[in-house]
Structure 1
Amino acid sequence: MSYEQLLERARALTTGPRRILGLVGAPGSGKSTLAARLAADLGPELAVVVGMDGYHYADVVLEALGRRERKGAPDTFDVGGYVSLLRRLRSGEESVVHAPQFRREIEEPVGSALPVPREVPLVITEGNYLLLREGPWAALEGLLDECWYLEPADDVRQARLIARHEAFGKDPAAARAWALGTDEDNARVIAASRHRADLVVHPD
């Protein structure tokens, strides 16, 4: 499916009541890039991007739990907080909902950084585990109007990941080790949820 077709499919979700479109895929699959492009082309009056990564546990919490070296795994997120946010966004009861954002330059979430006005009809949310249904992630059932699974070629995805880790401070060896270790472990978990997607997208 071409980008233009994806854009029109997203545009169709902007009519009527508030809708939530999910973009899911393994680390490095292009979720943030596609979400940002769709939102830019639809315009701020129609769409806003709210990432799941805003609900990463802070590093101090991960260290206390002994999970810092597994950051990005399903049990390193405040799932209940994310579920609550999606419910608030769906309800449309508040004039503005302030969502957290994940800032890659500090590798930490920042609370209440993104205002989402009630008038914006489409929320695009992207993250790794939108289709996971184990444990607390099961509460996501029914909260997304559509969910698209992004599936680029593995070598392309892994190369992107290594470059990203290097850009944000890891040395080449550490970047490669994380991308092919922790990230790849998470990718296998995410791939197991692929069958629940409404659409599989193969980005360039």
Structure 2
Amino acid sequence: MTNQGTRQRFSPYITFSREEWRHLRDSTPLPLTEAELEQLRGINERVSMDEVADIYLPLSRLLNLYVAATQNLYQATNTFLGHLEAKVPYIIGIAGSVAVGKSTTARIIQALLARWPNHPKVDLVTTDGFLYPNRVLEERGLMKRKGFPESYDVRRLIQFVADVKSGKPEVLAPVYSHLTYDIVPGEFIRIRQPDIMILEGLNVLQTNPDGGRKRAPQVFVSDFFDFSIYVDAKEEHIKRWYVERFQTLRETAFRDEKSYFRRYADLTAEEAERTALSIWEEINAVNLRENIAPTRNRAHLILEKAEDHTVRQVLLRKL
């Protein structure tokens, strides 16, 4: 047996090449148009219709089967108990580094899953809304740790996910503005018993939410997930994507007078690259290495991306 075969045998994952995964689409139709995909792409994301067909359609088919099986299980339980319980959403967690493309992945999955007739209501929430407000982060000296586990109101996040999972008629999620780089006071996303809720964020698979300084809680956000996805790539590629995104933002969103990063809009291309690399090395790379990447193998499915952003390999956890 080859070393690769041995690794496959003892790995908790089944590994699929892009070609092998593509065939699992079966006859699932492609419901998105190029115009719709354009609206779902993130900054500097080059997701093509072929990528949707080869990677995300098979994934939506798999998730549809999982959701249907869970719905049948709830129906069986209700039949056994002789009464109807509150509707319980299927919760999907999506994790990964800054600039790896997890937000685009989440939006595409949301759009595809909403096309399936047995779960048309699919909500998407990001954990950005559960960051502490800037004033709190400043008081605690955590502004340069924003995005690290300790910068989140973990108790509030866990309570939110628990309320959604328990079937509460309406649950509120705080709203975060990437323009002002802060929580928007008084604004909320209203979650009203969706069929599926996707929760996307850097640390949704984290089991050490306070950075290791205190005793870890007994309940984690991921305890409420029915399925979880980790979007992965080599750090050198993610770093380059981060710098490219920073350059694009310098020429667009940073020019808005309301932007928290307005000061970066007047940098030259060379100055912007040095600034982006400095932020990456001092903050995002540290968070990736210490907190995000270690959660990779907790995911049910891993999407491994190549240098050109395309997914080259899919790892599915064995049952």
TM-score (norm 1): 0.89
For the pair shown, which has the larger CA radius of gyration, 1 or 2? Answer: 2
Query: 180, 199, 202: which one pairs with 1:106?
Result: 180
In the TM superposition, residue 141 of structure 1 has moved relative to its aligned partner by: 4.6
In the TM superposition, residue 117 of structure 1 has moved relative to its aligned partner by: 1.7
**Paired residues of 1:162 and 1:176 also in contact (CA < 8 A):** yes
**Paired residues of 2:56 and 2:108 also in contact (CA < 8 A):** no
Q: Which residue of 2 aligns with 1:5?
A: 58
Letter in 2 for 1:98: L
**Paired residues of 1:25 and 1:149 also in contact (CA < 8 A):** yes
In the alignment, structure 2 segments of 5+ residues that lack a partner are 1-20, 22-54, 72-87, 209-215, 255-260, 311-319
In the TM superposition, residue 32 of structure 1 has moved relative to its aligned partner by: 0.8
Q: Which residue of 1 aligns with 2:238?
A: 157
CA distance in 2: counterparts of 1:61 and 1:107, whole angstroms: 13
Q: How does 1:40-79 map to 2 (within 5 A)?
A: 40-43=111-114, 45-79=120-154
CA distance in 2: counterparts of 1:18 and 1:150, whole angstroms: 23
Partner of 1:181, secondary structure, is helix
Structure 1 residues 22 and 160: alpha-carbon distance in aligned structure 2, compared to 1, 3 A threshold: same
Q: Which residue of 2 aligns with 1:122?
A: 196
Query: 86, 99, 121: which one pairs with 1:28?
Result: 99
Once the two structures are superposed, what CA deviation does each residue of 1:10-44 show, in whole Å capped at 9, x if it has no partner? 33354424110000112222111111111122339
Letter in 2 for 1:158: K
CA distance in 1: counterparts of 2:243 and 2:217, whole angstroms: 30
When the two structures are aligned, how many residues end up with a matched partner? Answer: 202
CA distance in 1: counterparts of 2:217 and 2:101, whole angstroms: 25
Q: CA RMSD in A?
A: 2.1
Question: Larger deviation: 138-147 or 46-55?
Answer: 138-147
Query: 26, 32, 39: which one pairs with 2:110?
Result: 39
Once the two structures are superposed, what CA deviation does each residue of 1:100-133 show, in whole Å capped at 9, x if it has no partner? 2322111112354212121x21000011112221
**Paired residues of 1:51 and 1:125 also in contact (CA < 8 A):** yes
CA distance in 1: counterparts of 2:176 and 2:64, whole angstroms: 26
**Paired residues of 1:98 and 1:115 also in contact (CA < 8 A):** yes
CA distance in 2: counterparts of 1:23 and 1:141, whole angstroms: 10
CA distance in 1: counterparts of 2:218 and 2:238, whole angstroms: 25
Q: Which residue of 1 aligns with 2:228?
A: 147
Structure 1 vs Structure 2: percent identity of aligned residues?
25
CA distance in 1: counterparts of 2:172 and 2:62, whole angstroms: 26
In the alignment, structure 1 segments of 5+ residues that lack a partner are none
Letter in 1 for 2:112: D
**Paired residues of 2:228 and 2:300 also in contact (CA < 8 A):** yes
Structure 1 residues 92 and 41: alpha-carbon distance in aligned structure 2, compared to 1, 3 A threshold: same
1:176 aligns with 2:277: yes
Q: Which residue of 1 aligns with 2:296?
A: 194
**Paired residues of 1:14 and 1:46 also in contact (CA < 8 A):** no
Query: 88, 93, 102: which one pairs with 2:168?
Result: 93
Question: Larger deviation: 147-156 or 74-83?
Answer: 147-156
Q: Which has the higher contact order (CA 8 A, sep 6+)?
A: 1
1:83 aligns with 2:155: no
